[in-house]
A and B are shown apart, each in its own frame.
Chain A
Amino acid sequence: MAKIILMEPFSFFKAKDDQTAIKTLSEEKKGRYLAGSTNLVDLMRRHVETPSLLVDINDLNLKKIEFTGNKLRIGALVTNSDLAYHKDVVKYFPVLSQAILSGASPQIRNMATTGGNILQRTRCPYFYDTAFPCNKREPGSGCSAINGYNRMHAVLGTSDQCIATHPSDMCVAMIALDAVIRVRGESGSRDILFKDFHLEPGNAPDKENVLKHGELIEAVEIPSLPFAKKSAYIKVRDRTSFEFALASAAVALDINNGMIKSARIGMGGIATKPWRAEKAEQVLAGKKFDEKILEEAATTEMSEAKPHKHNEFKIALAKRTLVRALKKVGGLHE
């Protein structure tokens, strides 16, 4: 008989409507929502996640993409594939399409959902391996990465408790585009700005976002941004495909006659959460678009980067990745 790696036992509930899903999960403290299952099932099989109940939300009516002219509304269950290839996304938010297509494999993208992508966990190998201490998995047990092999780890937003990288590409584009996350709980709906959604590890690396237990992501809304038509995502990684970023940059630029009116920048692969590069944006605003100012923006953004033993290279790599993305969007070819 083939080897079957078993998860811990759990109850399974297929929800037919939002309210039942939210109520059912709210009542079970160790429960989790199940959507695309690409990350959660993997984590359950490795016993990193051990939910007592799965509330399957795949039948909920959250699968629409609507572009109304002033905003793009993406249902939480829209798959990564459907979002990346949606005609309005390709045309008006190319950075989002490119970011999604740079991540995972086609099979995974066919399964993975928008809400699940936002909630995916880090790929820090110590988090995945229950033989190692990990503050994110088991608060207070220690961080194995800080003095371990940390080539893939974060240099921004870290703490002395955790240096795990947020792995998403999609989120890097969304944070650059000022996305808003609509969530619904037992007591009603609320909107959370994308930049306020994920938390830096600080003293509580296990707390990764501001969602309360039972709250369900319903949709992501991206406000219309005319210059987002001119945007791009650049991702640097160890392999050409199906690999997480060492460094990435999502860039949208509003340029007029060689002057930068405004810049929107997200960075990935280098931080503990999807990173909005506000410092770089400030450096660029109102400046002439030339190589010097791009370098200055990237250097400023990375000025507070804190490397560990094996990931110092990421600081230089992130700067170059950002400069390259800015040049690409601004039409300055190398």
Chain B
Amino acid sequence: MLLHYSLIDFQNSGPVKKKKTDKTLVEPESNSRREFLFKMAFGSAGLVTSPYIKITERDTLDDKAVFIASQKISVTLTVNKQIHTIEIDTRTTLLDLLRENMAMNGTKKGCDRGQCGACTLLLNGHRVNSCLILAASCQHAEVTTIEGLEGKDGLHPMQKAFIKHDAFQCGYCTPGQICSAIGLIHEGHTTSDADIQEGMSGNICRCGAYQNIVAAIREVRSNG
């Protein structure tokens, strides 16, 4: 059976380059051929409890297939003032926890390596890149995402300022920009436009709405 699965995986992997440890990891996509084959192989047998399966040795096609099952962990954290307890794979990032496990798609995935800032949210009051944070390390943490900014008086002042100053075009980077801007104002290093620009350097906007983003932040800062 195990060997059978490894064969299925190889059909989905790239060409074999060399005989050494291979890092191909597979997450079955919804309704994909892979998931279909996966179910064919294991679905009824109940051999595997997790969709996350790893093949550690690429040269094991012939003999020794090795599988390491994923590790699960329970995490309790507060997201937008609501407490959640959820069992997750230890490899889950905070970003994926929100988007994939909790269906909160407001926080965006851009580069997934801490370079673009699209996934910026507020963790215990500080702006961070949620793509680089393991959800497992967020035990009892307090998370605020774009979905949690609205208050009794409607949109957060930063959201209103972004709309007023037309501080976006496609909008994909906007949740990250707004969370980052709120973090920046809170940090308090926004004396000049140059400070704002430097302070927002962790958020990329490929539409190039930078001037309007700076204008929006300047306004919120001035209004205290």
Contact B127 A110 (CB under 8 A): yes
CA distance A6 to B90 in the complex (A): 11
Q: Interface with B: A38-46, A193-201, A276-284, A297-305, which one?
A: A38-46
Binds B, one of A8-16, A157-165, A169-177: A8-16
Chain B stretch 92-140: residues in CB contact (< 8 A) with chain A: 93, 96, 99-100, 109, 112-115, 117, 120, 126-129, 132-134, 136-137, 139
Q: A45 contacts B112, CB within 8 Å?
A: yes
A241 close to B (CB within 8 Å): yes
Convert B48-74 into 0s and 1s, putting 1 for each residue whose CB lies closer than 8 angstroms to a CB of A: 000010101000000000001111010
- Inter-chain CA distance A104–B17, complex, in Å, is 34
What band does the interface of chain A fall in when counting residues whose beta carbon is under 8 Å from B?
35 or more
Check B109–A111 contact: CB distance below 8 A: no
Known: A8-B25, A106-B199. A41 touches B126 (CB 8 A): no
Pick from A7, A10, A85, A130 the residue with the most CB of B within 10 Å.
A7
- Size class of the B contact interface (CB-based, 8 Å): 35 or more
Instruction: From B56, B134, B198, name the one whose CB has the most chain A CB atoms within 10 angstroms.
Output: B134
Residue among A9, A42, A85, A240 with the most chain B CB within 10 A?
A9
List A contacts of B203 (CB < 8 A).
Answer: 105
Q: Is B183 an interface residue (CB 8 A)?
A: yes
Which residue on chain A has the smallest CB distance to residue B126? A110
Interface of A (DSSP majority class): loop
Q: Given contacts A37-B137, A58-B137, is CB(A9)–CB(B127) below 8 Å?
A: no
Between A and B, 20 residue pairs with Cβ closer than 8 Å are A4-B27, A4-B96, A6-B54, A6-B91, A7-B25, A8-B23, A8-B68, A9-B52, A9-B71, A9-B89, A9-B91, A10-B90, A10-B91, A37-B137, A54-B136, A81-B187, A105-B117, A106-B183, A110-B126, A241-B201
Q: When the two chains form their complex, are residues B100 and A4 in contact, meaning their CB atoms are under 8 A apart?
A: yes
Measured between beta carbons, the chain A residues less than 8 angstroms from B143 are: none
Q: Is the CB of A54 within 8 A of B114?
A: no
